[in-house]
Amino acid sequence: MPKLKPISSKNFISIISKLGYNFHRQKGSHAIFVKGENLVTVPIHSGNKLDRNLMLKIIKKELKITREEFEKLL
C-alpha cells in the first residue's frame, strides 16, 4: 500500500466535516471538532501540511476509522 500523502489542515478539516464533525473551539493553533462525545484535535499551522504519522494517529485513535475509509473521502 502506498504511503499516505501529506495534506493541508484545511483539506483535513473538510474531510472530517464530511464525517459529521463540527467546529467546537480553537485554542492557539489547534482546532477542536466534535461529533457527539468524540473530540478531534487538528493542528492548524499556516502553509504547512500535516505529517503522515500525525494524520494516521488522528485517523485511527480519534476518528476511529480505517486508513482506507479515510482515503475514500479524499
Of 61, 52, 63, 67, the residue nearest 19 (C-alpha): 63
Whether residue 33 is contained in a domain is answered as: yes
Q: What is the mean pLDDT of residues 53-66?
A: 94
User: The domain spanning residue 67 has which CATH number?
Assistant: 3.30.920.30
For the chain, how many structural domains are there in total?
1
Hey, what's the cell of 11? Answer: 483539506
In angstroms, the CA 1 to CA 43 distance is 26
Q: What is the pLDDT of residue 60?
A: 94
Q: What is the pLDDT of residue 59?
A: 95
Whether residue 59 is contained in a domain is answered as: yes
Give the predicted TM-score (pTM) of the model.
0.88
Whether residue 1 is contained in a domain is answered as: no
Whether residue 4 is contained in a domain is answered as: no
Whether residue 40 is contained in a domain is answered as: yes
In angstroms, the CA 40 to CA 16 distance is 9
Domain of residue 18: give its range: 9-73
